[in-house]
Chains A and B, each alone.
Chain A
Protein backbone atom coordinates (compact mmCIF):
# COMPACT_ATOMS: atom_id res chain seq x y z
CA UNK A 1 0.00 0.00 0.00
CA UNK A 2 1.32 3.39 -0.91
CA UNK A 3 -1.68 5.44 0.06
CA UNK A 4 -0.63 8.30 2.24
CA UNK A 5 -2.94 9.48 4.96
CA UNK A 6 -4.83 12.62 4.05
CA UNK A 7 -5.44 13.71 7.59
CA UNK A 8 -2.93 14.60 10.22
CA UNK A 9 -2.39 11.87 12.75
CA UNK A 10 -1.70 12.59 16.38
CA UNK A 11 1.92 11.64 15.99
CA UNK A 12 2.39 14.10 13.12
CA UNK A 13 1.41 17.18 15.03
CA UNK A 14 4.93 18.14 15.97
CA UNK A 15 6.53 17.07 12.71
CA UNK A 16 7.53 19.98 10.48
CA UNK A 17 5.71 19.72 7.17
CA UNK A 18 6.76 20.82 3.73
CA UNK A 19 5.24 24.00 2.44
CA UNK A 20 2.80 23.35 -0.37
CA UNK A 21 3.08 25.58 -3.41
CA UNK A 22 0.43 26.05 -6.08
CA UNK A 23 -1.89 23.43 -4.70
CA UNK A 24 -5.27 24.10 -3.15
CA UNK A 25 -5.41 20.86 -1.17
CA UNK A 26 -2.69 20.74 1.51
CA UNK A 27 -0.72 17.52 1.35
CA UNK A 28 0.60 15.81 4.44
CA UNK A 29 4.17 14.63 4.39
CA UNK A 30 4.35 11.09 5.75
CA UNK A 31 6.65 10.48 8.69
CA UNK A 32 10.11 9.31 7.68
CA UNK A 33 10.65 5.56 7.88
CA UNK A 34 12.36 4.38 11.03
CA UNK A 35 16.09 4.21 10.52
CA UNK A 36 19.17 3.40 12.53
CA UNK A 37 19.91 6.68 14.26
CA UNK A 38 23.35 8.00 13.38
CA UNK A 39 24.90 4.92 11.79
CA UNK A 40 28.62 4.43 12.04
CA UNK A 41 29.30 6.47 15.15
CA UNK A 42 31.10 3.71 16.99
CA UNK A 43 33.36 4.45 19.94
CA UNK A 44 37.14 4.47 19.60
CA UNK A 45 39.57 2.76 21.96
CA UNK A 46 42.89 4.36 22.90
CA UNK A 47 45.27 2.65 25.31
CA UNK A 48 42.46 0.41 26.50
CA UNK A 49 40.03 3.26 27.19
CA UNK A 50 36.95 3.50 25.02
CA UNK A 51 35.40 6.88 24.28
CA UNK A 52 32.30 7.68 22.26
CA UNK A 53 33.39 11.17 21.25
CA UNK A 54 36.18 11.40 18.70
CA UNK A 55 36.71 15.07 19.49
CA UNK A 56 39.45 15.95 21.97
CA UNK A 57 39.41 19.52 23.23
CA UNK A 58 41.97 21.76 24.90
CA UNK A 59 41.29 24.00 27.88
CA UNK A 60 43.54 26.96 26.99
CA UNK A 61 42.82 30.49 25.79
CA UNK A 62 39.07 30.77 26.49
CA UNK A 63 37.76 34.23 27.42
CA UNK A 64 36.89 32.87 30.88
CA UNK A 65 36.41 29.58 32.71
CA UNK A 66 32.57 29.49 32.52
CA UNK A 67 32.80 29.83 28.73
CA UNK A 68 35.34 27.00 28.65
CA UNK A 69 33.07 24.85 30.78
CA UNK A 70 30.09 25.46 28.49
CA UNK A 71 32.18 24.87 25.35
CA UNK A 72 33.56 21.57 26.64
CA UNK A 73 30.01 20.48 27.42
CA UNK A 74 28.74 21.50 23.98
CA UNK A 75 31.61 19.73 22.23
CA UNK A 76 30.57 16.39 23.70
CA UNK A 77 34.22 15.57 24.30
CA UNK A 78 35.28 13.05 26.93
CA UNK A 79 39.00 13.82 26.94
CA UNK A 80 40.37 17.31 27.63
CA UNK A 81 43.97 18.46 27.50
CA UNK A 82 45.65 20.61 30.15
CA UNK A 83 49.12 22.09 30.68
CA UNK A 84 51.50 21.79 33.64
CA UNK A 85 52.80 25.13 34.92
CA UNK A 86 54.39 26.70 37.98
CA UNK A 87 52.10 27.58 40.86
CA UNK A 88 51.61 31.33 41.02
CA UNK A 89 53.19 31.85 44.43
CA UNK A 90 53.61 35.58 44.42
CA UNK A 91 50.51 36.79 42.54
CA UNK A 92 46.84 36.66 43.24
CA UNK A 93 45.79 33.08 42.51
CA UNK A 94 42.18 33.77 41.58
CA UNK A 95 40.11 31.05 39.99
CA UNK A 96 41.60 27.66 39.24
CA UNK A 97 41.02 25.65 36.09
CA UNK A 98 40.26 22.64 38.25
CA UNK A 99 37.24 24.38 39.76
CA UNK A 100 35.64 24.32 36.29
CA UNK A 101 36.42 20.79 35.10
CA UNK A 102 34.33 17.84 36.23
CA UNK A 103 36.97 15.27 37.10
CA UNK A 104 34.38 12.49 37.07
CA UNK A 105 33.26 13.35 33.54
CA UNK A 106 36.51 13.94 31.67
CA UNK A 107 39.77 12.12 31.27
CA UNK A 108 42.35 14.83 31.83
CA UNK A 109 45.20 14.52 29.35
CA UNK A 110 48.22 16.54 30.52
CA UNK A 111 50.46 17.88 27.77
CA UNK A 112 54.13 18.73 27.59
CA UNK A 113 53.54 21.97 25.70
CA UNK A 114 56.44 24.35 25.96
CA UNK A 115 59.06 21.60 26.15
CA UNK A 116 61.94 21.92 23.71
CA UNK A 117 64.00 18.94 24.89
CA UNK A 118 63.16 15.30 25.49
CA UNK A 119 64.48 15.62 29.04
CA UNK A 120 62.11 18.48 29.88
CA UNK A 121 59.17 16.68 28.27
CA UNK A 122 59.82 13.61 30.43
CA UNK A 123 60.02 15.80 33.57
CA UNK A 124 56.77 17.57 32.75
CA UNK A 125 55.01 14.29 31.89
CA UNK A 126 55.97 12.89 35.28
CA UNK A 127 54.73 16.01 37.05
CA UNK A 128 51.44 15.72 35.15
CA UNK A 129 51.10 12.09 36.18
CA UNK A 130 51.73 13.06 39.80
CA UNK A 131 49.01 15.75 39.66
CA UNK A 132 46.42 13.54 37.97
CA UNK A 133 47.27 10.79 40.48
CA UNK A 134 46.58 13.20 43.35
CA UNK A 135 43.26 14.05 41.72
CA UNK A 136 42.35 10.40 41.19
CA UNK A 137 41.71 11.01 37.48
CA UNK A 138 42.21 8.20 34.94
CA UNK A 139 44.49 10.56 32.97
CA UNK A 140 47.27 9.73 35.45
CA UNK A 141 49.83 7.93 33.31
CA UNK A 142 48.61 9.49 30.07
CA UNK A 143 50.48 12.24 28.28
CA UNK A 144 50.01 14.32 25.18
CA UNK A 145 53.67 14.47 24.24
CA UNK A 146 55.01 17.56 22.52
CA UNK A 147 58.71 18.13 22.01
CA UNK A 148 59.01 21.34 20.06
CA UNK A 149 61.82 22.28 17.73
CA UNK A 150 61.24 25.97 17.15
CA UNK A 151 59.49 28.80 18.98
CA UNK A 152 58.04 30.53 15.97
CA UNK A 153 56.48 27.57 14.18
CA UNK A 154 56.04 25.26 17.21
CA UNK A 155 56.86 22.44 14.84
CA UNK A 156 57.92 19.24 16.58
CA UNK A 157 61.54 18.16 16.97
CA UNK A 158 61.41 14.66 15.45
CA UNK A 159 64.52 13.38 17.22
CA UNK A 160 63.55 14.69 20.66
CA UNK A 161 59.99 13.46 20.15
CA UNK A 162 61.22 9.95 19.45
CA UNK A 163 63.63 9.96 22.42
CA UNK A 164 60.94 11.17 24.80
CA UNK A 165 58.43 8.63 23.47
CA UNK A 166 60.84 5.77 24.14
CA UNK A 167 61.62 6.98 27.65
CA UNK A 168 58.00 7.61 28.62
CA UNK A 169 56.79 4.29 27.21
CA UNK A 170 59.53 2.56 29.23
CA UNK A 171 58.24 4.43 32.28
CA UNK A 172 54.74 3.03 31.70
CA UNK A 173 53.05 6.05 30.13
CA UNK A 174 50.29 5.97 27.53
CA UNK A 175 51.90 8.35 25.06
CA UNK A 176 49.65 10.24 22.63
CA UNK A 177 52.26 11.88 20.48
CA UNK A 178 52.02 15.16 18.59
CA UNK A 179 54.14 15.00 15.45
CA UNK A 180 54.39 16.53 12.01
CA UNK A 181 52.47 14.98 9.13
CA UNK A 182 55.61 13.14 7.99
CA UNK A 183 54.60 9.49 7.52
CA UNK A 184 58.00 8.03 8.36
CA UNK A 185 58.27 10.00 11.62
CA UNK A 186 54.77 8.81 12.45
CA UNK A 187 55.75 5.21 11.88
CA UNK A 188 58.90 5.53 13.99
CA UNK A 189 56.86 6.99 16.86
CA UNK A 190 54.37 4.12 16.67
CA UNK A 191 57.27 1.62 16.67
CA UNK A 192 58.60 3.32 19.81
CA UNK A 193 55.37 2.34 21.54
CA UNK A 194 53.09 5.39 21.35
CA UNK A 195 49.45 4.61 22.14
CA UNK A 196 48.39 7.05 19.44
CA UNK A 197 50.22 9.08 16.82
CA UNK A 198 48.80 12.56 16.33
CA UNK A 199 50.00 14.22 13.14
CA UNK A 200 49.41 17.95 12.83
CA UNK A 201 47.09 19.27 10.15
CA UNK A 202 49.08 22.53 10.19
CA UNK A 203 51.03 24.49 12.84
CA UNK A 204 49.53 24.76 16.33
CA UNK A 205 46.98 27.53 16.62
CA UNK A 206 47.44 28.56 12.98
CA UNK A 207 43.89 27.76 11.86
CA UNK A 208 45.18 26.71 8.43
CA UNK A 209 43.34 23.39 8.51
CA UNK A 210 44.72 20.22 6.93
CA UNK A 211 47.44 21.58 4.65
CA UNK A 212 48.65 18.26 3.25
CA UNK A 213 45.78 15.77 3.14
CA UNK A 214 47.92 13.43 1.07
CA UNK A 215 50.46 13.12 3.90
CA UNK A 216 47.73 12.51 6.47
CA UNK A 217 46.40 9.69 4.28
CA UNK A 218 49.92 8.24 3.99
CA UNK A 219 50.29 8.43 7.79
CA UNK A 220 46.98 6.59 8.15
CA UNK A 221 47.99 3.93 5.63
CA UNK A 222 51.34 3.25 7.26
CA UNK A 223 50.11 3.37 10.86
CA UNK A 224 47.05 1.20 10.24
CA UNK A 225 48.72 -1.35 7.95
CA UNK A 226 47.91 -4.71 9.54
CA UNK A 227 46.63 -2.82 12.59
CA UNK A 228 43.40 -1.11 11.48
CA UNK A 229 42.31 -0.18 14.98
CA UNK A 230 45.50 1.74 15.80
CA UNK A 231 44.21 5.20 16.74
CA UNK A 232 45.42 8.18 14.73
CA UNK A 233 44.28 11.65 15.78
CA UNK A 234 44.79 14.82 13.77
CA UNK A 235 46.12 17.33 16.27
CA UNK A 236 46.57 21.03 15.65
CA UNK A 237 45.79 23.48 12.88
CA UNK A 238 42.00 23.28 12.81
CA UNK A 239 40.43 26.67 12.14
CA UNK A 240 36.79 25.88 11.45
CA UNK A 241 34.38 22.97 11.58
CA UNK A 242 35.02 22.14 7.91
CA UNK A 243 38.69 21.43 8.77
CA UNK A 244 37.57 18.92 11.38
CA UNK A 245 35.22 17.27 8.89
CA UNK A 246 38.03 17.01 6.32
CA UNK A 247 40.41 15.40 8.84
CA UNK A 248 37.74 12.86 9.78
CA UNK A 249 36.82 12.21 6.14
CA UNK A 250 40.42 11.29 5.45
CA UNK A 251 40.00 8.47 7.95
CA UNK A 252 41.44 9.91 11.14
CA UNK A 253 40.06 8.33 14.31
CA UNK A 254 39.71 11.68 15.99
CA UNK A 255 40.59 15.36 16.04
CA UNK A 256 42.26 17.30 18.84
CA UNK A 257 41.84 21.06 18.84
CA UNK A 258 41.78 24.05 21.13
CA UNK A 259 42.17 27.49 19.56
CA UNK A 260 39.47 27.01 16.91
CA UNK A 261 36.90 26.81 19.70
CA UNK A 262 38.52 28.98 22.37
CA UNK A 263 39.19 31.93 20.04
CA UNK A 264 36.00 31.68 17.98
CA UNK A 265 33.74 34.72 18.34
CA UNK A 266 31.25 32.40 20.00
CA UNK A 267 33.16 29.45 21.49
CA UNK A 268 30.08 27.53 22.63
CA UNK A 269 28.43 27.61 19.20
CA UNK A 270 31.72 26.62 17.57
CA UNK A 271 31.97 23.71 20.01
CA UNK A 272 28.55 22.49 18.81
CA UNK A 273 29.74 22.84 15.21
CA UNK A 274 32.93 20.88 15.96
CA UNK A 275 30.95 18.05 17.53
CA UNK A 276 28.74 17.76 14.47
CA UNK A 277 31.68 18.11 12.06
CA UNK A 278 33.50 15.28 13.84
CA UNK A 279 30.45 13.05 13.50
CA UNK A 280 29.67 14.12 9.94
CA UNK A 281 33.27 13.60 8.86
CA UNK A 282 33.36 10.16 10.41
CA UNK A 283 30.11 9.13 8.75
CA UNK A 284 31.28 10.55 5.44
CA UNK A 285 34.50 8.53 5.69
CA UNK A 286 32.62 5.33 6.51
CA UNK A 287 30.02 5.93 3.83
CA UNK A 288 32.78 6.18 1.21
CA UNK A 289 33.19 9.22 -0.97
CA UNK A 290 32.78 9.11 -4.74
CA UNK A 291 35.92 9.33 -6.84
CA UNK A 292 36.77 12.78 -8.17
CA UNK A 293 36.25 13.14 -11.92
CA UNK A 294 37.39 15.81 -14.33
CA UNK A 295 34.05 16.21 -16.12
CA UNK A 296 30.43 16.40 -15.09
CA UNK A 297 28.12 13.41 -14.92
CA UNK A 298 24.45 14.35 -15.11
CA UNK A 299 22.23 13.22 -12.29
CA UNK A 300 19.15 13.39 -14.54
CA UNK A 301 19.08 11.08 -17.57
CA UNK A 302 19.59 12.65 -20.98
CA UNK A 303 17.58 9.84 -22.51
CA UNK A 304 14.01 10.93 -22.97
CA UNK A 305 14.83 14.62 -22.72
CA UNK A 306 12.56 16.64 -25.03
CA UNK A 307 15.12 19.41 -25.39
CA UNK A 308 17.88 20.24 -27.86
CA UNK A 309 21.13 18.74 -26.61
CA UNK A 310 24.41 19.88 -28.21
CA UNK A 311 26.27 17.09 -29.96
CA UNK A 312 23.29 14.73 -30.13
Chain B
Protein backbone atom coordinates (compact mmCIF):
# COMPACT_ATOMS: atom_id res chain seq x y z
CA UNK B 1 0.00 0.00 0.00
CA UNK B 2 1.02 3.53 -0.63
CA UNK B 3 1.34 5.98 2.24
CA UNK B 4 3.01 9.35 2.62
CA UNK B 5 5.97 9.24 4.96
CA UNK B 6 7.58 12.51 6.06
CA UNK B 7 6.06 14.22 3.04
CA UNK B 8 7.26 11.64 0.50
CA UNK B 9 5.39 8.75 -1.18
CA UNK B 10 6.29 5.45 0.51
CA UNK B 11 5.43 1.84 -0.27
CA UNK B 12 4.64 -0.23 2.82
CA UNK B 13 3.43 -3.84 3.07
CA UNK B 14 -0.33 -4.21 3.43
CA UNK B 15 -1.58 -4.50 6.99
CA UNK B 16 1.61 -2.94 8.37
CA UNK B 17 1.49 -1.42 11.80
CA UNK B 18 3.35 1.72 12.83
CA UNK B 19 5.77 -0.51 14.76
CA UNK B 20 6.40 -2.54 11.57
CA UNK B 21 7.16 0.64 9.66
CA UNK B 22 9.62 1.86 12.30
CA UNK B 23 11.32 -1.55 12.37
CA UNK B 24 11.61 -1.65 8.56
CA UNK B 25 13.20 1.81 8.64
CA UNK B 26 15.70 0.77 11.32
CA UNK B 27 14.17 3.14 13.86
CA UNK B 28 12.77 0.58 16.29
CA UNK B 29 15.41 1.21 18.95
CA UNK B 30 15.82 4.95 18.44
CA UNK B 31 13.80 7.72 20.02
CA UNK B 32 11.19 8.58 17.41
CA UNK B 33 7.78 10.16 17.79
CA UNK B 34 5.06 9.40 15.27
CA UNK B 35 1.98 11.13 13.95
CA UNK B 36 -0.61 9.52 11.71
CA UNK B 37 -2.82 11.99 9.88
CA UNK B 38 -1.65 14.85 12.13
CA UNK B 39 -2.48 13.05 15.36
CA UNK B 40 0.23 11.79 17.70
CA UNK B 41 0.38 8.05 18.26
CA UNK B 42 2.18 7.28 21.54
CA UNK B 43 4.88 4.63 21.47
CA UNK B 44 2.74 2.26 23.53
CA UNK B 45 0.23 2.19 20.66
CA UNK B 46 2.69 1.75 17.77
CA UNK B 47 2.28 -2.02 17.66
CA UNK B 48 -1.50 -1.88 17.56
CA UNK B 49 -1.83 1.05 15.18
CA UNK B 50 -2.48 -0.45 11.71
CA UNK B 51 -1.73 1.77 8.72
CA UNK B 52 -4.07 2.13 5.78
CA UNK B 53 -3.69 3.29 2.17
CA UNK B 54 -3.14 7.03 1.94
CA UNK B 55 -2.17 7.56 5.58
CA UNK B 56 0.12 10.50 6.20
CA UNK B 57 2.83 9.50 8.63
CA UNK B 58 5.36 11.82 10.24
CA UNK B 59 8.36 10.43 12.11
CA UNK B 60 10.35 13.00 14.05
CA UNK B 61 13.34 13.21 16.33
CA UNK B 62 15.26 15.90 18.22
CA UNK B 63 17.80 18.11 16.47
CA UNK B 64 19.78 21.16 17.49
CA UNK B 65 17.68 24.26 17.95
CA UNK B 66 17.34 27.45 19.93
Q: Which residues of A contact B61 (CB under 8 A)?
A: 84-87, 96, 98, 131
CA distance A287 to B36 in the complex (A): 54
Q: Which residues of B contact A123 (CB under 8 A)?
A: 35, 38, 40
Among B42, B58, B66: residue with most chain A CB under 10 A: B66
Please classify the interface of chain A as helix (H, G, I), strand (E, B), loop, or mixed, using the class held by over half of its residues: mixed
Q: Which residues of A contact B60 (CB under 8 A)?
A: 84-87, 127, 131
Q: Is the CB of B40 within 8 A of A81?
A: no
What per-residue 1/0 map shows which CB atoms of B26-44 lie under 8 Å from chain A? 0100011101001010110
Q: Is the CB of B66 within 8 A of A81?
A: yes
Place the interface of chain B in its size category.
20 to 34
Q: Is the CB of A82 within 8 A of B43?
A: no
Q: Which residues of A contact B43 (CB under 8 A)?
A: 130, 134
The answer to whether the Cβ of A285 comes within 8 Å of any Cβ in the partner chain is no
CB nearest to B7 among chain A residues? A86
Closest Cβ of chain A to B26, distance in Å, is 9
Closest Cβ of chain A to B42, distance in Å, is 6
24 pairs across A/B with beta carbons < 8 Å?
A: A60-B63, A60-B65, A61-B64, A82-B63, A83-B63, A83-B64, A83-B65, A85-B60, A86-B59, A87-B60, A87-B61, A89-B5, A96-B61, A97-B63, A123-B35, A123-B40, A127-B35, A130-B40, A130-B42, A130-B43, A134-B31, A134-B33, A134-B43, A258-B66
List residues of B whose CB falls within 8 A of some A CB. Answer: 5-8, 25, 27, 31-33, 35, 38, 40, 42-43, 58-66
List residues of A whose CB falls within 8 A of some B CB. Answer: 58-62, 68, 81-87, 89-90, 96-98, 108, 110-111, 113, 123, 126-128, 130-131, 134-135, 204-205, 236, 256-259
